[in-house]
Amino acid sequence: MSDLERRLRFALAPVEPPMALTDRFERTLTELTDAAVEELADTELRAMRDPRNWARPAAAVLVGGVAGGTLIVVQARQRQRRRRPRGLRGLERRVRETAGSAIRAVRR
Amino acid sequence: MEARPSKPLLDEEFSELYRSHLRDVYSYSYYRVGNHHDAEDITEQTFLQAYRHFERAQRESDGRPLRPWLIRIAHNLAANHYRDRSRRPQTNLEDATRLSAVHATEDVVEGREELAAILDGVAALPDDRRDALIMRFALDMDNREIARALGRSEGATKVLLHRAIRQLEGSLEAGDGHE
């Protein structure tokens, strides 16, 4: 390795991301999930009566599922950082919580 | 026909990808845009996009590492960032904060000017050369990974890195890197 390459490696040292970044990422995903759940609740009854509206709640379920899933994995990261046990049990609990809140909102 | 992986398994694998490469994506974004605020935006958007396309990326990766794919997403987002806002990277990389945060204090005191000259020199390189150097030295990516991230052949990547180092060397010798 040349001297310049050695200096480059030193100058371009990896930068640690701020802890707040993961919190922010989780917030964004929570907002996406909430918006999808609200969309689902608002349109659910109409969608059931009018086949032309069936596409919208389906899309909301999709968005909610994707964002909720990502939220779960990010929360898994936070749990790991806090040295809490992680794994399938925790993941399963999050899935149940996310699915449960979506179902309750739809039934309201 | 191959069975699709289950959602919990995909989530667990994405979680692993996030844990393993958050620092890589953040470092790349930071050296591209030159400030923490925009680096956080790009990192967040990178992982959101990655999650949306994760299953397909896994399927198409054929077992190869996904880091180049992630960095390519960050690379494209950073390019759009400049296009949308018609701006160039900041060359001083929030000097005081970054230098003290990233490097040991005694080293910084000793080589602050040299360090700043190198960072300014890197920032002044043409985009593709600058990006290749960041991938090599900040992320420790090999030629194959950089080639995949930049959408080039390995041969072309090797030449690109060689030219980037030569150009940087020339500008540092001429004193162009630091004002």
pLDDT band at B5 (very low <50, low <70, confident <90, very high): confident
Tell whether A25 is within 8 A of chain B (Cβ).
Answer: yes
Q: Do A16 and B23 touch (CB under 8 A)?
A: yes
Whether residue B148 sits in one domain with residue B173: yes
Largest CA distance in chain B: 61
* CA-based nearest residue to A79, from A95, A90, A65, A68: A90
* CA-based nearest residue to B136, from B151, B150, B117: B150
Q: What is the pLDDT of residues B150-166, one digit of tens each?
A: 999 999 999 999 999 99
**Residue B70 near residue B54 (C-beta atoms within 8 A):** no
What contacts 24+ positions apart, CB below 8 Å, involve B82-87?
none
Q: What is the pLDDT of residue B25?
A: 97
Sign of CA dihedral B109, B110, B116, B119: negative
Chain B residues closer than 8 Å to A92 by CB? 8
pLDDT greater at residue B106 or residue B82: B82
With respect to residue B69, please indicate whether it lies within any of the assigned structural domains.
yes
Q: Which residue has the tokens 């953040």?
A: B26
With respect to residue B95, please indicate whether it lies within any of the assigned structural domains.
no
Instruction: Indicate which of B11, B29, B139, B173 best probes the interface with A, i.e. most A CBs within 10 Å of its own CB.
Output: B11
CA A44 to chain centroid = 22
Q: What is the pLDDT of residues A44-100, one digit of tens each?
A: 656 666 666 666 656 666 666 666 666 665 665 555 555 444 454 554 555 555 555
Chain B residues closer than 8 Å to A4 by CB? 165, 168-169, 172
Q: What is the pLDDT of residues B118-153, one digit of tens each?
A: 999 999 999 999 999 999 999 999 999 999 999 999
pLDDT band at B15 (very low <50, low <70, confident <90, very high): confident
With respect to residue B157, please indicate whether it lies within any of the assigned structural domains.
yes
Q: What does the pLDDT average to over A24-33?
A: 70
Which member of A8, A17, A76 has the closest CB to residue B133? A8
Chain A residues closer than 8 Å to B35 by CB? none
Q: What is the pLDDT of residue A84?
A: 43
- Asked if the interface predicted TM-score (ipTM) of this complex is over 0.90, the answer is no
Is residue B60 pLDDT above 60, yes or no?
yes
pLDDT band at A36 (very low <50, low <70, confident <90, very high): low
Is residue A19 pLDDT above 50, yes or no?
yes
Is residue A103 pLDDT above 50, yes or no?
no
Tell whether B72 is within 8 A of chain A (Cβ).
Answer: no
What one-character DSSP code corresponds to residue A77? H
Chain A residues closer than 8 Å to B103 by CB? 10, 13
Q: What is the pLDDT of residue B161?
A: 97
Whether residue B66 sits in one domain with residue B17: yes
pLDDT band at A108 (very low <50, low <70, confident <90, very high): very low
Q: Do A21 and B98 touch (CB under 8 A)?
A: no
Q: Which residue has the tokens 């100058």?
A: A11
Tell whether B69 is within 8 A of chain A (Cβ).
Answer: no
Which member of A25, A91, A95 has the closest CB to residue B47? A25
Structure tokens at B66: 């996904």
Whether residue B71 sits in one domain with residue B18: yes
B60 Cβ contact list (under 8 Å, min separation 6): none
**Residue A51 near residue A61 (C-beta atoms within 8 A):** no
Q: What angle do CA B87, A9, A13 make, to 5 degrees?
A: 65
pLDDT greater at residue A90 or residue B174: B174
Whether residue B108 sits in one domain with residue B86: no
pLDDT greater at residue B153 or residue A21: B153
B125: domain CATH number is 1.10.10.10
Q: Do B119 and A14 touch (CB under 8 A)?
A: no
- Measured between CA atoms, how close is A32 to chain B, in angstroms? 11
Residue type, A13: A
Give the C-alpha separation, A104 to A102, whole Å. Answer: 6
Shortest CA distance from A23: residue in chain B: B44
Q: What is the pLDDT of residues B19-58, one digit of tens each?
A: 899 999 999 999 999 899 999 999 999 999 998 899 999 9
Residues spanned by the domain of B179 = 104-179
With respect to residue B86, please indicate whether it lies within any of the assigned structural domains.
yes
Whether residue B179 sits in one domain with residue B111: yes
- Measured between CA atoms, how close is A68 to chain B, in angstroms? 10
Structure tokens at B12: 């667990």
Whether residue B165 sits in one domain with residue B140: yes
Whether residue B117 sits in one domain with residue B84: no
Whether residue B81 sits in one domain with residue B15: yes
**Residue B133 near residue A12 (C-beta atoms within 8 A):** yes
Domain end among B56, B90, B124: B90
Please count the structural domains in chain B. Answer: 2
Per-domain residue ranges of chain A:
20-107
Q: What is the pLDDT of residue B179?
A: 44
**Residue B167 near residue B142 (C-beta atoms within 8 A):** no
* CA-based nearest residue to B25, from B56, B50, B57: B50
Q: Do B40 and A24 touch (CB under 8 A)?
A: yes
With respect to residue B141, please indicate whether it lies within any of the assigned structural domains.
yes
With respect to residue B18, please indicate whether it lies within any of the assigned structural domains.
yes
Which member of B18, B36, B103 has the closest CB to residue A77? B18
Percentage of chain B surpassing pLDDT 70? 81
Number of H helices, E strands in chain B: 9, 0
Percentage of chain B surpassing pLDDT 90? 59
With respect to residue B35, please indicate whether it lies within any of the assigned structural domains.
yes
With respect to residue B2, please indicate whether it lies within any of the assigned structural domains.
no
